[in-house]
Amino acid sequence: MLDLFDPQERVVIGEQAVLMRGRALAVDTALLAAIDAIAGRASFRRMVTPGGYEMSVAMTNCGRVGWVTDRTGYRYAPHDPATGRPWPPLPDVFATLAHDAATEAGFADFFPDACLVNCYEPGARLSLHQDKDEQDYRHPVVSVSLGLPATFQFGGLKRGDRPLKVPLTHGDVVVWGGASRLVFHGVLALKDGDHPLTARRRFNLTFRKAL
Ligand code: MD6
Ligand code: FE
């Protein structure tokens, strides 16, 4: 049967960095239900940076280890510091999506052990940073956007490199690694809006092989 719908639009945003528009749409409600379940066991919280600033993005984690920050630094930790309990396990729908998207982007054998779950409310932002707390930079990072749209900044290997502005909307998946693995990136302040599935929020899942 002729199928005119092309849900798999790919946009190359850098060397070995690809945006797969709508790649997560088929499982969006399953992803959001899983986020709800995770947050029920490990609440979203605004963590403090080593510099003493409270982040505007609220975070939680699932997987064998979770990304945390406090006054002593950034690290991956097997337990939620708020409760002392292990992070909730990676749901199958998360693991499958991350693995399959990475494979389609040219990164075989990606089995993430960490998923950072970010919750943005209007005004929340993430300043330019590199993801460099992982042990092996040969593994890519897979990022899934849900809910309100945001502007993603995709820069270069130097903080001063002028970033590309990439709109990320509900269901988008970004995979990057290799030559782009240590690129500076960030998210501009979230604009207010009302999304049918998430109301006034944006969620982002970032999958990594940390250990
Ligand atoms: C976000 N994402 O989109 C934040 N990091 O909310 C990230 O910081 C990120 O999307 C590494 C790779 C992909 C990302
Ligand atoms: Fe990042």
Count of alpha carbons within 13 angstroms of residue 134, beta-carbon side: 21
Does the structure show a pLDDT above 70 at 5? no
Mean of all residue pLDDT scores within the chain: 96
Domain 11-208, CATH among 2.60.120.590, 3.40.50.11440, 3.90.1150.10, 2.60.40.420:
2.60.120.590
Percent of the chain predicted with pLDDT > 90: 96
pLDDT band, very low/low/confident/very high, at 2 (cuts 50, 70, 90): low
Q: Which residues are CB-contacts of 162 (< 8 A; sequence separation ≥ 6)?
A: 155, 156
* Cβ(126) – ligand 1 distance below 6 Å: yes
Q: DSSP readout, 3-59? A: ------EEEEEETTEEEEETTTGGGHHHHHHHHHHHHHHS--B--B-TTSPBPSSEE
* Cβ(61) – ligand 1 distance below 6 Å: no
Give the tens place of pLDDT for each residue, 62-95. Answer: 999 999 999 999 999 999 999 999 999 999 999 9
At position 132, the amino acid (one-letter code) is: K
CA distance 186 to 151: 9
pLDDT band, very low/low/confident/very high, at 193 (cuts 50, 70, 90): very high
Atom 6, ligand 1: which residue's CA is nearest? 204
Residue 204 CA: nearest ligand 1 atom is 6
Count of alpha carbons within 13 angstroms of residue 128, beta-carbon side: 16
pLDDT given for residue 43 in this prediction = 98
Predicted structure pTM score: 0.95
């897979």: which residue's tokens?
142
Ligand nearest to the CA of 166: 1
Give the tens place of pLDDT for each residue, 111-162. Answer: 999 999 999 999 999 999 999 999 999 999 999 999 999 999 999 999 999 9
pLDDT given for residue 1 in this prediction = 60
* Cβ(142) – ligand 1 distance below 6 Å: no
What strand order describes the sheet that includes 173-176?
9-14, 17-21, 173-176, 141-147, 202-208, 114-120, 58-63
Which among 184, 204, 205 is the best mutation to test ligand 1's pocket, defined by most ligand atoms within 8 Å of the CB? 204
pLDDT given for residue 194 in this prediction = 98
| Contact in structure between 123 and 57 (CB atoms under 8 Å) | no
Ranges of each domain in the chain: 11-208
| Contact in structure between 45 and 66 (CB atoms under 8 Å) | no
